[in-house]
Each structure stands twice: as C-alpha cells, then as structure tokens.
C-alpha cells in the first residue's frame, strides 16, 4: 500500500439504548391466595433457578399459586403478550434473568 492510498475504518464502539425509568409496582400486603408469575427471560439457566423457586414456594408457601412462564422469544426482544397475561391473571411477577 502506498502512502497516498486512503483506507476507511469504522469505530466499533456501540451506543447503549436510552433507559426509561419506570416506578416499581406497589408492594402486596401478602402473597397468600395470590398468583405469582415466574418469568423466564431465556437467559442462561434462569429456567433452572425459577423452577427451584417454584418448588420452594410449593413447600414453604403452599397458599401461593406460581406459574412458570417462558417469554416467547429471547431476552433481547419484548414480549407484550406475556406482560398482558401477567397483568390480567397474576398479582405479581418475578423476572429471572440468569446467573
């Protein structure tokens, strides 16, 4: 390559998406008689942890109904259908994002 030739280079640095702050949901006074969704975002081993949590609830808090719910795609994609189901049928959700 001669010194008069030009090459084009690209900057590999990415730009993180803008984070929009949202308030937490109000805390429930009790979980007894409530339905808690255990949401698997399909990140490494989150399903294993959430199934262990579901077993713990069954043993220690039998009055709590748990629903193990994998999202429809991968954790990088939103799943509005799942969120609507949880709003309609659940009282709380625990979102597992892996190890």
Residue 61 lies in a domain: yes
Name the residue range of residue 78's domain. Answer: 35-96
Is 8 part of any domain?
Answer: no
Residue 17 has pLDDT above 80, yes or no: yes
Residue 55 lies in a domain: yes
* Cα 67 to chain centroid, rounded: 14
Mean per-residue pLDDT, 71-87: 90
Does the residue 49 lie in any domain? yes
Count CB-CB contacts under 10 A for residue 11.
5
pLDDT given for residue 39 in this prediction: 96
pLDDT digits (tens, 9 = 90+) for 42-66: 888 889 999 999 999 999 999 999 9
- Does the model's pTM come out above 0.85? no
Residue 11 lies inside a defined structural domain of this protein? no
How many distinct structural domains can be found in the chain?
1
The verdict on residue 43 lying in a domain is: yes
Answer whether residue 87 is part of any domain.
Answer: yes
- 94 exposure class (CB count in 10 Å sphere: 0-12, 13-18, 19+): middle
Could you tell me if residue 56 is inside a domain? yes
């Amino acid at each position: 390559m001669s010194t008069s030739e030009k090459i084009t280079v690209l900057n590999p640095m990415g730009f993180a998406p803008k984070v929009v702050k949202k308030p937490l949901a109000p805390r429930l006074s009790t979980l007894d008689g409530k339905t808690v969704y255990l949401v698997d975002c399909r990140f490494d081993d989150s399903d294993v942890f959430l199934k262990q949590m579901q077993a713990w609830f069954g043993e220690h808090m039998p009055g709590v109904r748990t629903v193990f719910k994998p999202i429809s795609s991968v954790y990088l994609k939103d799943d509005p259908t799942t969120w609507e189901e949880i709003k309609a049928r659940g009282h709380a959700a625990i979102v597992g994002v892996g190890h």
